[in-house]
Amino acid sequence: MELNENLKKLIFEKSTFKQNVYDSTKETFELFRHTTHELINLLQQERRASGSNVKFSYEDRGDLEFEVQFGGDVLLFLMHTNVFEFSRNHDVMKSAYIRENPQRSYCGVIQIYNFLADSFAYQRDNDLGYLIGRIFVNAEKHYFIEGKRELGMLYNNFHTSLITNESVQSIVESAFEYTTNFDLLTPPFDEVKVVTVGEIRSNFDKKSLATGKRLGFKFQQDVD
């Protein structure tokens, strides 16, 4: 039995290419880790200098995850282990950059989630977090971001956007800015007017009644 040459070429070349995409994404994630940690250190210095009681913290949660807290918010950065391609209908696929080389559409993904700090502090397992942005990085370290407001509108030029120290700092600062402006709204009265005895007995502050920044609201483009 002999290996089919086309099959052999496809498997080895594509697997090698996807590994290159993964490596580029991992290097980018480490840059995000370092930059975010440095930003938290600067904010802690500013807090001490100003006498503020605002809390800032940074925590590594493994090779593919880290967490930062500032004030009442937590941002969780996660890198996915797999490599993805944009769907054929995605706007990115219509660009000259992708048409010149279709392999550029293969990307690793870094996701940024926003949670309330109290959700972790009080172990409120039913509380909600929100994906505020996902960063797609290809083998050439070009990137594209799908996200809310500051993230989604500022970083969507895949053909010109490159991962650099400056671009990563800008993305992290935009994520902090968006999160700070993304306020906790009281849910509509009709969404919370009924509570069960079981929910009260199980300590609704901790476990049963979910809390989220837009709980009970239709979460669209943050025009509210």
What pLDDT does residue 221 have?
Answer: 44
Provide Rg for the chain, Cα atoms: 21
- What pLDDT, in 10s, does the model give residues 144-171? 998 876 665 566 789 999 999 999 999 9
> Which of 23, 28, 1 lies closest to 144, judged by CA?
28
- What pLDDT, in 10s, does the model give residues 98-123? 999 999 999 999 999 999 888 888 88
Percent of the chain with pLDDT over 70: 79
**Confidence label for 197 from pLDDT (cuts 50, 70 and 90):** low
Q: Write down the mean pLDDT value for the chain.
A: 85
- Segments making up each domain of the chain, as ranges: 5-182
Written as six digits, the tokens of 206 are 């901790």
Cα 133 to Cα 86, 119, 145: the distances in Å are 16, 20, 7
**Confidence label for 216 from pLDDT (cuts 50, 70 and 90):** very low
**Of all helices (H) and strands (E), which one includes residue 163?**
none
Statement: residue 45 has pLDDT above 90: yes
Percent of the chain with pLDDT over 90: 57
Task: Say how far apart CA 200 and CA 77 lie, in whole Å.
Answer: 33
What pLDDT does residue 187 have?
Answer: 61
What pLDDT does residue 75 have?
Answer: 96
